[in-house]
Amino acid sequence: MHQTSLESAAVGLPAAAELDRALRNAAPNEVIATALKVVGRDHLALVSSFGTESAALLKVMADVDPSIPVIFLDTGWLFDETLRYRDTLIATLGLGDVRSIKPLEETLSREDPDRELWFSDPDACCRIRKVEPLARALKPFSAWINGRKRFQGGLRAEIPVVEQDGARLKFNPFANVSREDIEAIYSTANLPPHPLLASGFLSVGCMPCTSRTSPDEDARAGRWRGRPKTECGIHTTKTA
């Protein structure tokens, strides 16, 4: 059977289960350093929303290697504050390769010409604005890093440190960290907070589907409020 270039690049990589066992109790920087070693810089990317907790993972990555490519999904519905925060963190952390990926205009014109899809079918909106652009952006890579944590609950409560994601390895270096660990990274490195955090936005996504969160709610309660939806799809859809 003919191998794709991605499958060819993945030949010889350790199995996800093997890596997960080895890294089960590893510190986040060790997970990223191991990913870099076994995959190689040319085949590894970090995906970041530049949201309220994103600076912590980006800081750890930058300390390992600030030239690791960072994929940022610019959906067309993001807060201006998030776009400015992205630029602030690029400068603050010296990130050398941040790639802002947008949905295809032809797809938006065909499937969301009135920009109302977020209301009528939020899953479809996430698919054309996040899932499909990420799949396109990840094509050159055989592994990716993300910032999910088990303490966020829901579908994230049992995530491994390393998992198989279609043809790719997926590293979750913050799987084991606590909220206090995140706060400690921000404090120690004097990282700037997301501008919307002080206004009660504990988890920030696209404007129409993000609301403020009260102190007694889960941090992600403000995402898709009033709907059963809890994930945009990039972590529940296997990449090709």
Given a contact cutoff of 8 angstroms between Cβ atoms, the answer to whether 128 and 134 are in contact is: no
pLDDT tier for residue 217 given thresholds of 50, 70 and 90: confident
* 125 counts as catalytic: no
Catalytic position from the list 125, 126, 206, 232: 232
Any idea what DSSP says for residue 221?
A: G
Angle between helices 28-39 and 54-64 (to 10 degrees): 50
Sequence-distant (6+) residues with CB within 8 A of 183 are: none
Fold of 5-222: Rossmann fold (3.40.50)
Residue 220: per-residue pLDDT: 77
Q: Domain segments of the chain: what residues?
A: 5-222
Model-level pTM? 0.88
Q: Which helix (H) or strand (E) holds 164?
A: strand 162-165
**Nearest residue to 156 via CA among 66, 99, 223, 210:** 223
Joined together, the tokens standing for residue 130 give 């996040």
pLDDT tens for each residue of 70-87? 999 999 999 999 999 999
Count of alpha carbons within 13 Å of 42, Cβ hemisphere only? 3
